[in-house]
A and B are shown apart, each in its own frame.
Chain A
Amino acid sequence: MQLIVNGQSHDLDADPQMPLLWALRDLLGLTGTKYGCGIAQCGACTVHMDGMAVRACQITLAEVGGEITTIEGLGTPEAPHPVQAAWIAGQVAQCGYCQSGQIMQAAALLSLNAEPDDAAIDAAMSGNLCRCATYPRIRAAIRDAALRMGGV
């Protein structure tokens, strides 16, 4: 089956019931998208489907209905997305395992709401668990990213 990930088309010979998460990780080698819970409770597997934040553990390959963007496709170490740049400048990550999902969720939030207030940030981000509790820096990085994106 056909899958467009980060602008590239892939022809996958896989069980259509396989969750997108595992196709990305095991079949395409895109391991930036993380497995955390498998039941949409942690958000570590958040990717974009046609720009919307979705949990890759909950979408089977048969259900994929749009172009997928993963953390690897959002930006690179050399050319980070403004959200990634804000995350780096704010030194958000501790263990970092949830941060791919946090960043994808935040990027989707900012694409819909260029100036989210604290309530909007809380509402959008509360599905993304961080066991290191980096939340204060996540909040600050989202505000910073909003400024960076507004300035472009």
Chain B
Amino acid sequence: MARIGRIARRGFLIGSVAVAGGVAFGAWRYARPLPDPFAGSGERALNPYVLIDAEGVTLVAPRADKGQGARWLQAALIAEELDIDPATARIVPGPVSPTYYNRALIADFLPFAPTDTGWLAETARSAADIPARLLGWQMTGGSSSTADGFDKLREAGAVARETLKEAAARRHGLSRADLNTEDGAVLLPDGRRIPYPDLAVEAAALEPVTDIVLRDRSQWRWLGKPMARADVVAKSTGRQVYGIDLTLPEMLHATVRMAPWGGTVARLDPVAAESLPGVLRVLPIDGGVAVLARDTWSAMRAAAALDVDFAGPDRPGDQDAIWAGLAAAHEAGDIDSRKRDDGDVDAAIGAGDLTAEYRAPFLAHAPMEPMNATVLVADGACTIWAGTQVPDFAVARAAALTGLPETAIRLENQMIGGSFGRRLEIDFIEQAVQVAMAVPGRPVKLTWTREEDFAHDQARPAQIARMRGRVTADGVQALDLTVASPSVIASWFGRVSSAPPGPDVSITTGAWDQPLAIPNFRVTGLRAPETVPVSSWRSVGASTNGFFLGTALDEMFAAGGIDPMEGLLRLCDHEPSRAVLEALRDLSGWTGRQAGPGRGRGVAFCLSFGVPCAEVVEVEETPLGLRLTAAFAVADVGIVLDPVNAEAQLSGGMLFGLGHAMNCELTYRGHRPDQTNYHAHEGLRMHQTPETAVRLLENGPLRGLGEPGVPPAAAALGNAIFAATGQRLREMPFARGVRFA
């Protein structure tokens, strides 16, 4: 927000506190508006999402962009109503403020299935406005940015537009109704154009115009049409500055070597590392050691040369013990949640019915941009430049570490080179703050090595699921699915804030909440003790439950002699989901499991984050191994606001799910994964990428698409491999059981 700082110094004070918060956040529902995030800094915003000065229009996009296109889409939502080409506006992430709370995300924490549109569920979701406002979370996650911003960002744009029109009307003695707007200007009846910046000071003196009506989508000029994301040009020419690229005057560089999470430094001899050229200091920080140097490479070289021993925490940290703990959770059967219990599975399932056990491994987020943060501690203030999905947690931790009040902490969110959930963690920011505290007045950029990233990821949890099921020629009669997992919510909250009480519904998300009319259907979550830290990994609980449930259903369809596409359609009791399956059947040219000699097709469905998504994968046997020949996905997001990017998110999510199902796992030894870099955890590469085709439907409620493409992928692939080879894969990664070309 350097630009807003400059505005303040120039004295361009526009907008009003009364405008801020109110309209953009629907504050008419509350007695008191939310705080103006620019208040107290001598700055004023016309409203918290739009800033106009003599030089142009700035749109504030408070949800973090980690590649999913959130920054651009937020700007486009504002710009559509503001009547300005988003490509001509400045787009900034904005400061950290409770005013940018995320209502949609909190709504997803409520204990109702996303398909439940009953009175109680709807009432609770709308009441989520209140706890979200109290918590004030400015979080990015849960595929929530689109749903959260759809109304309030357009309202912000509309209020700004009408207030600018009012200012023009007063200047020229006209009625606002006589005026129009176009391309960043108010149009007078005589054809004259007044650019918005010319009206900013006058508009700031007005009460905001709030009697606005949002435009029907038939009038949209940008939304819903192919748009060119502004960041794509920068990202294609090397000009995009990510957090890791930040360069500040007098900046020092640092990296870390950390003990396993919860462990300690047992012994440290800094002499050898400190004697290397370019190294300034070796300094102990909480749970590890930092090296401060003149450049990144010198810091990394010295960190690798550090003479240090770590002690792990007093918890199991070996893979065998972790699997044993998950199996023990099944034996103990202490129920954490049972959110689905239709019919009577115990009466319906008997001896001779199907049973199976499935395993999902730990997985790394390993986004391409290694974790990094730049921090300056100086003159009783702390400035953080970092890409984060949880800026307010980062600010709170920085305040605790520095002893400064939160008002003295400034965080400038950076463009993020991938996250997949990794930047819901703030460990790298905590480390950078500690290093910067040791050299007040000098900015420090802390950059992790890729090896540190693998060693200190908070992985997707390893899980064991067990199923029992009964199928007849008439269809699936009963399914009992039990999933054992450590709690992502407890582990993550325990690190970034404080763990909430109660069950962790994410253990069975993507299973219990599916729109499947199985007469006897039970889904149980068991909580295994925490071993190594675990966290949200793109699509969270649904990433594994999509595999467990999608495979279990396919096993039952196969046993019952039922075509899996037909079987899913027969079970599905949610119209938008049925439409997704029907569209997928057509898109993929589905004619059954078999697709010729040595060729097979698999299908799977998962409704996650409110988005029904179904995928078909085709595989063929080749002399070099199994090859994925095609992959199809259909999803329903309600309204496709950014079609070019939505297609990319759906295709990318599906391929992300496929690559990890094929190739990836973390296996722990002494609290550290055996996999130390990409060579051992590749995800997907070009040569294994199938041709893809995707389609988006608009029958359900408006939802986001960053995650829902992931959950069906693994099951669709495993089911296709079964169709092609007869081999049923119940454990990921599939490369443990088959060979891929």
Contact = CB atoms under 8 A, between A and B. Distances in A.
A136 to B, nearest CB: 5
Contact of A36 (B298, B370, B687): B370
B447 to A, nearest CB: 7
Interface centre among B238, B241, B298, B687 (most CB of A within 10 A): B238
B78 to A, nearest CB: 21
Interface in A77-130: 77, 80, 84, 87-88, 91-100, 103, 121-123, 125-130
Contacts of A129: 368, 678, 682-683, 685
A26 interface: yes
A129 B663 CA distance: 14
Interface in B671-687: 677-679, 682-687
Nearest to A127: B685
A33 B368 contact: no
Contacts of A35: 244, 296, 370, 447
A106 to B, nearest CB: 11
Given A71-B238, A134-B652, A123 B687 contact: yes
B680 to A, nearest CB: 9
B241 A94 contact: no
A144 interface: no
A38 B300 CA distance: 10
A52 B350 CA distance: 66
Contacts of A126: 685-687
Interface string B686-728: 1101011000000000000000000000000000000000000
A57 to B, nearest CB: 10
B623 to A, nearest CB: 15
A91 B229 contact: yes
Instruction: Give the size range of B's interface with the partner.
Output: 35 or more
Contacts of B198: none
Nearest to A79: B237
A132 B418 contact: yes
B296 A88 contact: no
B237 A84 contact: yes
B245 interface: yes
B228 to A, nearest CB: 7
A146 B684 CA distance: 24
Contacts of A133: 651-652, 655-656, 659, 683-684, 689
Interface residues of A, number: 61
B193 interface: no
A42 B684 CA distance: 11
Contacts of B686: 121-122, 125-126, 128, 135, 138-139
A26 B296 contact: yes
Contact of B645 (A74, A91, A125, A136): A91
A77 B652 contact: no
Contacts of B110: none
Interface centre among B645, B648, B659, B682 (most CB of A within 10 A): B648
Contact of B238 (A39, A72, A121, A122): A72
A4 interface: no
A29 interface: yes
Contact of A80 (B237, B278, B417): B237
Contact of A95 (B67, B678, B683): B67
Contact of B232 (A41, A88, A132): A88
B296 A131 contact: no
Nearest to A38: B450
A13 B437 CA distance: 30
A131 B682 CA distance: 9
A88 B679 contact: no
A149 interface: no
A151 B406 CA distance: 58
A103 B239 CA distance: 13
B684 A96 contact: no
Nearest to A78: B237
A91 B232 contact: yes
A94 B69 contact: yes
Contacts of A44: 368
A94 B240 CA distance: 12
Interface in B255-287: 277-278
A2 interface: no
Contacts of B232: 87-88, 91-93, 96
A135 B278 contact: no
A22 B68 CA distance: 28
A34 interface: yes
B635 to A, nearest CB: 16
Given A26-B296, A32-B238, A138-B686, A38 B233 contact: no
A15 interface: yes
Given A37-B677, A38-B450, A131-B367, A71 B684 contact: no
Interface in B402-461: 416-420, 447, 449-451
A58 interface: no
B235 to A, nearest CB: 3
Contacts of A29: 247
A85 to B, nearest CB: 8
Interface string B60-72: 0000001111000
B366 interface: yes
A25 B298 CA distance: 13
B300 to A, nearest CB: 8
A91 B235 CA distance: 10
B596 to A, nearest CB: 20
Contacts of B244: 31, 34-35
Interface centre among B68, B231, B368 (most CB of A within 10 A): B368
A131 B234 contact: no
Interface of A: 15, 18-19, 22, 25-27, 29-39, 41-42, 44, 70-72, 74-77, 80, 84, 87-88, 91-100, 103, 121-123, 125-139
28 contacts: A22-B295, A29-B247, A31-B241, A33-B238, A35-B244, A36-B370, A37-B677, A39-B450, A42-B368, A71-B237, A84-B236, A88-B232, A91-B228, A93-B232, A93-B236, A94-B418, A95-B367, A96-B67, A96-B231, A96-B234, A97-B67, A97-B367, A122-B686, A131-B367, A132-B368, A132-B652, A133-B659, A133-B683
Q: Which 8 A-B pairs have CB atoms at the shortest separation, nearest pair first?
A: A32-B238, A95-B67, A96-B235, A97-B417, A71-B238, A133-B655, A31-B245, A22-B297
Interface of B: 66-69, 228-229, 231-242, 244-245, 247, 253, 277-278, 295-298, 300, 366-370, 416-420, 447, 449-451, 644-645, 648-649, 651-652, 655-656, 659, 677-679, 682-687, 689, 691-692
Given A41-B677, A132-B656, A133-B689, 11 more contacts: A26-B297, A34-B417, A77-B233, A87-B236, A91-B229, A93-B67, A93-B229, A97-B417, A97-B418, A133-B652, A139-B689
